[in-house]
A and B are shown apart, each in its own frame.
Chain A
Amino acid sequence: NAGVTQTPKFQVLKTGQSMTLQCAQDMNHEYMSWYRQDPGMGLRLIHYSVGAGITDQGEVPNGYNVSRSTTEDFPLRLLSAAPSQTSVYFCASGDYSYEQYFGPGTRLTVT
């Protein structure tokens, strides 16, 4: 099993650009989530999904969009990138909301 994969590993965007961070898992997990990690802030939940077709907001959802059309994939869309969205983004999946498996992360810089 590849586990949780994220692409790209690194990305630089200009303010106002949009992009999609990809996340895929091959463990047939129902629960998937996106977090961002910022210095001194820990991991903050952006959006999560409890199954295909079902998504909900986390702690910091503004500026991000998600959809879950399949069990395997959970892409995160930045609608109009802002410097405040410079961060490391982690996707995770699990059978439940706890004991999640995390991907390696995407480091995003918005200039």
Chain B
Amino acid sequence: DQQVKQNSPSLSVQEGRISILNCDYTNSMFDYFLWYKKYPAEGPTFLISISSIKDKNEDGRFTVFLNKSAKHLSLHIVPSQPGDSAVYFCAARLGSSNTGKLIFGQGTTLQVKP
């Protein structure tokens, strides 16, 4: 039972355009959501997060939107750059800040074409 789903395995966009990566979840008890980025042969790195009490969080070119009623999370990258090409994982936290578990989605491979 996949509690966090990324239904698009891959996405290709042109450099300079917007990239939108989507994530759906089923458990209403998740209280914190994150996006991680992963390059080949490296471990994932934290990108941006959002608390369930907010609906938007922005950090430079990256913005995360949360729609709790739809149980939907999205990551917008504007403008997209070739260096953004990577696998993006969304994750959701179940439990409290220092004891909770992170549940990850399957990942979406983003390719940004020059």
Contact = CB atoms under 8 A, between A and B. Distances in A.
A102 B100 CA distance: 17
A23 B31 CA distance: 28
B25 interface: no
B9 to A, nearest CB: 8
Contacts of B9: 40
Band of interface residues on B: 20 to 34
Interface in A37-60: 40-45, 48, 50, 58-59
Contact of B45 (A30, A40, A58, A102): A102
B65 to A, nearest CB: 18
A97 B99 contact: yes
Contacts of B22: none
B34 interface: yes
Q: Which 5 A-B pairs have the closest CB atoms?
A: A102-B43, A43-B104, A42-B106, A97-B100, A42-B104
19 contacts: A30-B98, A42-B104, A43-B89, A45-B104, A50-B99, A90-B43, A90-B44, A96-B100, A97-B95, A97-B97, A97-B102, A99-B34, A99-B46, A100-B46, A101-B46, A102-B43, A104-B42, A104-B43, A105-B41
